[in-house]
Structure 1
Amino acid sequence: MEVEAVESNASRGGADHRPSSKKDRRVFWACVFIFANSCFQCTAYFGVSTNLVNYLKDRLHQDSKAAANSVTNWQGTSSIMALVAAFLADAFLGRYWTIAIFMLISVVAYAVLTVSAAAALPGAALFYAGLYLLALGGALQPVLTSFGADQFDESDEEERRRQSSFFNWFYQTLNVGSLVGGTVLVWVQSSVGWGLGYGIPALFSVLAVAVFLAGTGAYRRHQPPGGSPLTRVAQVVVAAVRKYGVEVPADASALYECETDDGMSAIQGSRRLAHTDQFRFLDKAAVETAGDKTRPSPWRLCTVTQVEELKCVLRLLPVLASGIVFAAAYAQMSSTFILQGDTLDPYVGGFRVPAAVLSVSETLSVMLWVPLYDRVIVPLARRATGRDRGFSQLARMGVGLIVLTAAMLAAGTLEVQRHRVVARHGMYDTNTGADGRYLPMSIFWQVPQYVVVGASEVFTFIGQMEFFYDQAPDAMRSLCTGLSMTSFALGNYVSSALVTVVARATARGGRDGWIPDDINRGHLDNFFWLLAMLCIGNFGVYLLIARWYTYKKTVD
């Protein structure tokens, strides 16, 4: 990704104001270091997380249920820690120092895990200490995403285009890392040993730190910490409630705003935000009364920019909610898709392809779709729409919602065909291939649904990442980017609850239900049709959200 356009001294706050020119390639090299760092981090992380359940069973002697719960608890903690890291970056440490400090914590975590695995130490205390240190230190994706996007000058049209391209290629590095970590390193753990299998991720974590620090001279934009965003939000709510009876003036210019000497807002490193008409009640917090002039207090009077910060977050929440249903359907790759694949013939000649490994085709699909989207689809859309990004961000996410619906329909269609094969051969009690009897139907018939899921991911997940960064206030971008990723975690919980409810509701009266232990006697196809209908309904609601949404505006 070549970057020629660079910021001028008039760019927004947080820049270091060093002289630059159109030939300056600093952004290019900054992105190279960030991409390499992200790839190394993901390789290490997925090298541990992908096969973690087997380590807990083989080395710590946990049963399947306890091991599965341990993994989900750890993943949930990692999601929470991502928000903690994002909060610290926006509020106190800044993004650069948050990344550096948390990566050093992750190096210690990998070292502890390696020592525990290599020495085969009795007890689980040391291993869990390393594991939860990793949950803390490895939760950097929202901060690193924001830091990388910060390198581009949004006031420059060409750099704004390249910033949009950055999100695509950043996500590509995540997939490269997950592919290597989830295949090569898992093979090392299974075939060579856990000590080396965890030692290699430790090495990658050291490389990640080295690469990030090596790029320090190339990073040209450092968003300064703006103080606690939670405090600012609370101040707006309290001030608006205390002024419940105050009339909001019709002229928005009469609302209180504090401009610094450099034209920025009173929040360090944050541009001023233009007033919007949504959530008018909150505007009461920016109405200056006689009492505010004699006894000024941030808990009674807030700036327009501070009020608009809260409005930005409130507008993002419905978009976040629409991503939960998407994530719930997406989560079928690690659950019902595998149940379906377990019954199909996994052999290619004498080589066996486990159902779980087939998800690699989704990762490869993403790796194919990213350059296709960035180099082909966006330029074509740009000519058609005249937009810098080709599509609006909301339109891009909407396309992904529809594409995922097609994936559920593809899975349901395959399930109908699979049931026909079951009926034709009378294979109702094969116990999903566990006894060596697989349906005479190749597992590779699942590839199309995985490929379509990958396409939807490129549109929606990457679009969501870019959208939340772009629409977040300057001093809350790490936190809002982290917030967007919570839809994935919530979607997994919704998926688990949906499977449980459907299985129980359809198994009443002695029936097998849609998702019995032997799915050859169930109706998994009906479950996929249900998911497709939920996706369509979610898309309908999303259209209303997109129509209602008001894009953030800054005051130049």
Structure 2
Amino acid sequence: ACAAILLAETFERIAFYGITANLVLFLNRGDFLWTSYNAANALFIFMGLSYLMCVFGGWLADTILGRFRTIVISFVVYILGIMFLPMLGHDGMRGKLCGGRAWIIQPINATKDTTDNQEQYCDSLIYPIIAVIAIGTGSVKANIAPFGADQVKDEGPEVMRMFFNWFYWSINAGVLLSLGAVAFIQQNMGFFYGFLIPAVSLGVALILFVLGQPAYVCRSPSGSVLTNVFRIIMEACRSRRRRRRNYSQPRLVDPLPNPTWLDMAKVRYGGSFHESNVEDVKSLGKILPVFIVLIPYWMVYFQMQTTFQLQGLHMRIPPLNITMPAAWLTLFDALLLLILIPVMDRVVYPWMDRRGCHFSVLKRISLGMFFGFCAVMCAGGLETYRLQLVQNHTITQNISGTSFYAADLWIWWQIPQYSLIGASEVFASVAGLEFAYAAAPRSMHSIIMGLFFFTSGIGSLLGSGLLALVKKFNWVTDADHGNINKGHLDYYFFVLGGLQFLSFVVFNIVAVSFHRAKMKRQKQ
């Protein structure tokens, strides 16, 4: 059962990263000629919706369908969306789906006024496609890990930990295969084959998952915790006036000396909810501030496959017999994860524990946020130098049939920022998942995991919003189809760095408050 789930997850990740690895290039190149801003914005929206849909997928499984049926239906929706991408990558099919261009390509010396009003070719089809894919992948993401955990739930914590270790390994195996092979095919053989492989991979994932059905432990939907949370909050709001009443009726339990507004939903105050249910909602209120302060980190994290890639497309790529995909730089993030996670888990953390130096989850998240700040500041510094260099040392590169005017600066200079993002993920992302599971009440593990992914989706969408805001200052322009050489992407990176540093400071304040509250509860 677990083998089928792990293999399905690997093939699903191949499909997902096969979409995201080069989506910016796909839309920015000659077939579509979207501006750099709109191409990056499309990926921000796709990533954001994918993570936002995790909450919807978890609710659907818990309340109506159960996890197995939700995963199968989500895979089908996922496939229905992804099957359009190879068609968009095929010269003959693209015209039938999108029709003729709505505007004529302007010459290289076109002014900003002549390019501002150009519509993005086929956007009325592309945005619905990525929305459908996002619904599918978000619902799969929300349920496949908990469904796998259901299979080993009764076999003890050691087996459970082993499953999650292999699950995370399966994710990264899919990432490496997708970024290493699929991204290469997209840039060297074309996007028809480059998107056909993810579509086939997703079909294989569905088949493998369904084949394991006879061995699965399938649990019936037990009602949504999210629904109960809203009911408790609504009842507490309606019942706040009860605090001022004189309770003359006999009660089995004495009221609390200083009840909060949420306590008004408890049975002892005339509400209809058990004590433990309300306390779980109060715990959620203590965890959410940590998630919210992490949002700027996610804004930085999602630059890796958007603005970082745009920057790489405008730098010198090695003159090999093949075109090295700009997305290959993301491999430094994945490889660093594969190396650092076992080293930290097996060597560093045990060594620190033996010496009484406990590296708490919140400290790890804080360190990860600092690495994220360093990554985006590196990107900003590199972009400042690249913009200075491109004025006098410009080279022309043909990438996937499109000419890019690049600075005479090797793309390898991006390795530090990608590596720092990888280091940040080892601490902030992995520790964030651990915090989401460890700090959550037992009845709310699924919903809090969903909210963790939900806030990362908000981070992606806010990254898109910030890009739209700086566009008004011409830091990202529409001139020459969004040529970043005519903007100031470095200013965008520095603003992100400022937001990340501010959130780093606020996070440490929130973490201290959370730690003190936890110690106070333990003493009580």
TM-score w.r.t. length of structure 2: 0.74
1:283 is aligned to: 263
Decide whether aligned partners of structure 1 residues 479 and 367 sit closer, same or farther in structure 2, where only a CA change above 3 A counts.
Answer: same
Helix, strand or coil at the partner of 2:272: coil
Decide whether aligned partners of structure 1 residues 403 and 61 sit closer, same or farther in structure 2, where only a CA change above 3 A counts.
Answer: closer
Give 1:397 shift: 1.6
2:145 is aligned to: 145
1:481 is aligned to: 449
Give 1:326 shift: 0.7
* 1:229 alignment partner AA: V
1:428 is aligned to: 391
Q: Which structure 2 segments of 5+ residues have no match?
A: 99-123, 398-402, 476-481
1:205 correspondence with 2:202 = yes
- Answer 1 or 2: which has greater helix percent: 2
- Pick from 230, 234, 237 the counterpart of residue 230 of structure 2: 234
CA distance in 1, matches of 2:6, 2:489: 44
Query: Counterparts in 2 of 1:184-195, with a 5 A limit?
Result: 184-192=181-189, 195=192
Give 1:401 shift: 1.2
* 1:392 alignment partner AA: S
Decide whether aligned partners of structure 1 residues 328 and 117 sit closer, same or farther in structure 2, where only a CA change above 3 A counts.
Answer: closer
Helix, strand or coil at the partner of 1:227: coil
2:502 is aligned to: 537
1:518 correspondence with 2:517 = no
1:398 is aligned to: 366
- Pick from 448, 453, 466 the counterpart of residue 421 of structure 2: 453
1:47 correspondence with 2:14 = no
1:19 is aligned to: none
Decide whether aligned partners of structure 1 residues 216 and 59 sit closer, same or farther in structure 2, where only a CA change above 3 A counts.
Answer: farther
* 1:363 alignment partner AA: A
* 1:44 alignment partner AA: A
- Pick from 82, 97, 102 the counterpart of residue 123 of structure 1: 97
Contact 1:345–1:440 under 8 Å retained in 2: yes
Helix, strand or coil at the partner of 1:347: coil
Please list the CA deviations of residues 487-544 of structure 1 after superposition, one character each: whole Å capped at 9, or x if unmatched: 333223333444555576698xxxxxxx99537x9693x6655544433332221122
Give 1:327 shift: 1.3
Give 1:393 shift: 2.8
- Pick from 156, 172, 177 the counterpart of residue 175 of structure 1: 172
Give 1:447 shift: 0.9
Contact 1:167–1:465 under 8 Å retained in 2: no
CA distance in 2, matches of 1:392, 1:470: 12
CA distance in 2, matches of 1:67, 1:145: 31
What count of residue pairs does the alignment treat as equivalent?
A: 474
Root-mean-square deviation (CA), in Å?
4.4
1:331 is aligned to: 302
Give 1:98 shift: 1.9
1:372 is aligned to: 343
1:84 correspondence with 2:86 = no
CA distance in 2, matches of 1:393, 1:223: 31
* 1:541 alignment partner AA: V
2:134 is aligned to: 135
Helix, strand or coil at the partner of 2:302: helix
CA distance in 1, matches of 2:429, 2:510: 17
- Pick from 349, 359, 363 the counterpart of residue 330 of structure 2: 359
* 2:198 alignment partner AA: P
Give 1:71 shift: 5.0
CA distance in 2, matches of 1:67, 1:472: 37
1:265 is aligned to: none
Query: Counterparts in 2 of 1:235-384, with a 5 A limit?
Result: 235-247=231-243, 254=253, 280-288=260-268, 300-338=271-309, 340-342=311-313, 344-347=315-318, 353=324, 355-384=326-355
Give 1:129 shift: 7.3
Please list the CA deviations of residues 391-441 of structure 1 after superposition, one character each: whole Å capped at 9, or x if unmatched: 43323322211222332344455557668x84xxxx535568668886554
Please list the CA deviations of residues 327-357 of structure 1 after superposition, one character each: whole Å capped at 9, or x if unmatched: 1222333455345545543225676545454
Decide whether aligned partners of structure 1 residues 505 and 81 sit closer, same or farther in structure 2, where only a CA change above 3 A counts.
Answer: closer
TM-score w.r.t. length of structure 1: 0.70
CA distance in 1, matches of 2:31, 2:312: 29
Give 1:172 shift: 3.8
CA distance in 2, matches of 1:479, 1:204: 29
Helix, strand or coil at the partner of 1:518: helix
Give 1:322 shift: 1.5
Decide whether aligned partners of structure 1 residues 409 and 230 sit closer, same or farther in structure 2, where only a CA change above 3 A counts.
Answer: closer
Please list the CA deviations of residues 347-384 of structure 1 after superposition, one character each: whole Å capped at 9, or x if unmatched: 25676545454233222222322332333233324434
- Pick from 535, 538, 546 the counterpart of residue 511 of structure 2: 546
Helix, strand or coil at the partner of 1:538: helix
